[in-house]
Amino acid sequence: MANSTPSRYGAIKGGSDKRELFLKVVSGEVLTTFANKTVMTDKTRVRNISSGKSASFPAIGTTVAEYHTPGTEILGNAIQSDEKIITIDDKLISHASISDVDEAMSHFEVRSEYSRQIGEALAQTHDRNLFSLAIKAARDTGSGGIGVGAVGQANASSATLGATPTVAETITAIYAAAQKFDETNIPDSERYVFVSPSVYWSIVTNDKILNQDFGGSNGVYSDGTVINVAGMKIIKTNNLAVNHVTTTVDYGTKYQVDATKTLALILHPQALGTVKLMDLASEMEWDVRRQTWLMLSKMLVGHGVLRPECIYEIKKA
């Protein structure tokens, strides 16, 4: 029996691709880049200003107590004062342009997803700038450095481990940071340890931290969670161990530092300050000359170091 010769109506003019003319089944589900979680929004002091280019945070020094001899005149001890000034950075923007023709032909709603991605870009830069500023302060404690405390305040700290530190050594260094905070009178509450995912998961699998029965109030082995180390909350983030030395305008020279060697950053919310002149806002406008929709998100803020003694970096050599 001879084979039949079917008409392959999926091919264009008898071409080799027998399915070229068949329609695609569109799911309507948009596949986008997963959002990187931001963690620094509520971990700094925030001041909103309605005008001006900067905000001043006064710093008051300490005084001493002494025994008084009857008849000796009391003149009053001098208390030193200083200030920390945080200046607003240039306007930070993220934007996209959408053709009305492309939008009309698209099978999914474009604007909402693009708006989300634009806002996400600003949020990530906000987190990275704060982390890089804290790490720069920890390493810049020389004369005039941003890690030098004002009157009555200690400097920021940076501890260097070996080139390939073990998990146990990292955990021990975190305990040393907690001791340093105690000695500097940093409040016990609201201490945070920021680590990269690789450091976080190495800590999770270490039996010094979790309950020996693989469960308990400080984490569950089966869930891969750990809550505290040395009484400080552990938070994992992809925005910490990043090389911020770049030629782009993403970070600006104020925030440039190579943080790829950073293992952990211990912070108290009093460490850093954020001054907001314009909070995160979005705009969309039809550009008749280009026949496109211009979408833009913007913010006008500045970050600075307020209490350097509330910063402690742990890094490898």
- Predicted confidence at residue 206, as pLDDT, reads 74
Which CATH code of 3.40.50.300, 3.30.70.940, 3.30.2400.10, 3.10.20.30 fits the domain covering 45-316? 3.30.2400.10
Name the residue ranges covered by the structural domains of the chain. Answer: 45-316
pTM score, whole prediction: 0.82
Backbone phi, psi, residue 311, to 5°: -120, 130
User: How is residue 18 annotated by DSSP?
Assistant: T
Of the CA atoms within 13 Å of residue 163, those in its CB half-sphere come to 0
- Predicted confidence at residue 199, as pLDDT, reads 93
Spatial contact of 108 and 30, defined as CB atoms under 8 Å apart: yes
| Strands (E) located in the chain | 45-48, 54-60, 81-87, 92-99, 157-161, 192-195, 219-220, 225-226, 228-229, 232-236, 262-267, 272-287, 292-305, 311-316
- Predicted confidence at residue 248, as pLDDT, reads 53
Token pair listed for 198: 């690789």
- Predicted confidence at residue 212, as pLDDT, reads 45
- Predicted confidence at residue 297, as pLDDT, reads 87
pLDDT in tens, the chain (317 residues): 676 656 666 677 778 887 776 666 555 555 555 667 788 988 899 999 999 999 998 877 778 898 999 999 998 888 888 788 999 999 988 888 888 887 777 666 777 788 888 888 888 888 999 999 999 999 999 988 999 988 878 999 999 999 999 999 999 999 999 999 999 999 998 999 999 999 998 888 776 665 544 445 555 555 556 678 888 999 999 999 999 886 454 556 889 999 999 999 999 999 999 999 998 888 888 889 888 888 888 889 999 999 999 999 999 99
